[in-house]
Amino acid sequence: MTLNAILISVFEDGLFAAIAAIGFSSISNTPRRAYFTCGLIAAIGHSIRYVLTLPDCTGMHIILASGMSSFAIGVLAVLLASRIKCPAEVCFFPALLPMIPGMYAYRTIEALLSCLYYSQEETFAYYFHQLAYNGLTCTFIVLSMVVGATIPVFLFKKLSFTATR
């Protein structure tokens, strides 16, 4: 991949994450003044994860990349929350939602249903492997996102609680 193609892909990834975050913000009763900040944080965080998982860059596993980008989202939310006079959670919850591993969850349910449908040992073993792999990957991605996003709230406790005063 050329550098221009990578930059365009990163920009597209961030743009679509920002649109999704603003959409999630609008349905979760977030103040309008926070929409741009939520979109910006989501775009930066999702782009970080995208770059970290690129084989040409670091080729990091999606679980670790999700944790690191969630940490970046948490830091940005804590730092920018005081500007919009909202709690950091108002910013990082919508920013994290585009990073939810929907395909892994879908493949987990698909493999579960296939396990129930097929009774041949070889076919069942294949789908059970898919169930375990996708289910564990989905679970650990969500867990790393939760841990990564909440660590900055505790690290910058004074700053995060003065955002609404």
Number of neighbouring beta carbons within 10 Å of residue 132 = 12
Give the pLDDT of residue 119.
85
The pLDDT tens digits of the residues spanning 124-157 come to 999 999 999 999 999 999 999 999 999 998 898 7
Distance of CA 47 to the CA centre of its chain: 10
Is 15 within the bounds of a domain?
Answer: yes
**Residue 70 pLDDT grade (very low, low, confident, very high; cuts 50, 70, 90):** very high
For 45, left (φ over 0), alpha (ψ -120 to 50), or beta? alpha
For residue 75, which amino acid is it? V
Domain total for the chain? 1
Predicted confidence (pLDDT) at residue 164 exceeds the cutoff of 60: no
What is the value of pTM for the model shown?
0.89
61-65: average pLDDT: 95
- DSSP letter, residue 162: S
How far, in Å, CA of 119 to CA of 131, rounded?
Answer: 15
Burial class (CB in 10 A: 0-12, 13-18, 19+), 9: middle
Residue 22 in tokens: 């603003």
Measure the CA–CA gap between 89 and 126, rounded to whole angstroms. Answer: 40
Closest CA to 107 of 79, 84, 77, 133: 133
110 within a domain of the structure (yes/no): no
| Mean per-residue pLDDT, 48-72 | 93
pLDDT tens-place string over residues 80-115? 988 888 888 888 899 999 999 999 999 999 999 999
What pLDDT, on a 0 to 100 scale, did the predictor assign at position 84?
A: 87
Round to whole Å and give the CA distance between 140 and 126: 21
Residue 30 inside a domain? The answer is yes
Residue 42 resides in a domain: yes
Q: Is residue 113 part of a domain?
A: no
Residue found under tokens 């996003």? 149
CA atoms lying within 13 Å on the CB side of residue 61 = 7
Whether residue 50 lies inside any domain: the answer is yes
In a domain, 59, yes or no: yes
Domain-located, residue 127: no
- pLDDT tens digit sequence for 20-44: 999 999 998 889 999 999 999 999 9
Q: Which residue range is the domain that position 95 belongs to? A: 3-100+149-161
